[in-house]
């Protein structure tokens, strides 16, 4: 993906395991922005990167399985309901312009044995609703980067 200008980060953690996801928006893609986003999901435990998965472009999938490098087991997931929304909260078309949000549901099944300590972490059907804020410049008729304050 070229020129990644904006990153949204969220972290949801348990005592031993942290899950992070990042959504990137490529502002060079305008008009139909359905493919202007990618997603990185990663898992860490005790300061060790366990694994990650990248979806480029971000899209609904039943196959969001993290590639584990430093742990035994699996982190399997899916992404559903990837949709853009207008400022009034109604669904909008990716080509319409003027969207204020994009949303999706991230679901993970975690079954890993942590490195070094050997503890097992199991979480079934962890659901995380995710929101990406979009910034439409009506004068320029395009999505623009708006830094967080």
Residue 1 has pLDDT above 60, yes or no: no
Yes or no: say if 101 and 76 are a contact pair by the CB < 8 Å rule: no
How open is the CA angle 94-97-102, to the nearest 5 degrees?
50
Q: How far apart are CA 98 and CA 124, in angstroms?
A: 37
Q: How far apart are CA 96 and CA 71, in angstroms?
A: 44
- 58-74: average pLDDT: 90
pLDDT bracket for residue 61 (50, 70, 90):
very high
Yes or no: say if 66 and 40 are a contact pair by the CB < 8 Å rule: no
Q: How far apart are CA 32 and CA 95, in angstroms?
A: 4
Residue 104 has pLDDT above 50, yes or no: yes
- pTM for this predicted structure: 0.83
Farthest-apart Cα atoms in the chain, separation: 57
| SS (HEC) of 83-106 | EEECCCCCEECCCCCCCCEEEEEE
């Amino acid at each position: 993906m070229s020129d990644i200008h904006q990153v949204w980060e969220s972290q949801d953690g348990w005592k031993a395991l942290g899950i992070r996801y990042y959504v990137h928006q490529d502002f060079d893609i305008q008009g139909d922005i359905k493919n202007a986003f990618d997603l990185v999901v990663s898992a860490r435990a005790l300061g060790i990167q366990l694994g990650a998965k990248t979806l480029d472009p971000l899209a609904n999938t039943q196959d969001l399985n993290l590639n584990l490098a430093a742990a035994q087991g699996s982190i399997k997931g899916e992404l559903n309901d990837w949709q853009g929304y207008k400022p009034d909260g109604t669904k909008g078309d990716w080509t319409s312009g003027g969207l204020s949000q994009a949303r999706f549901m991230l679901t993970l099944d975690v079954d890993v044995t942590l490195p070094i300590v050997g503890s097992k972490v199991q979480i079934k059907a962890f659901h995380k609703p995710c929101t990406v804020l979009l910034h439409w410049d009506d004068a320029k008729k395009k999505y623009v980067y708006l830094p967080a304050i």
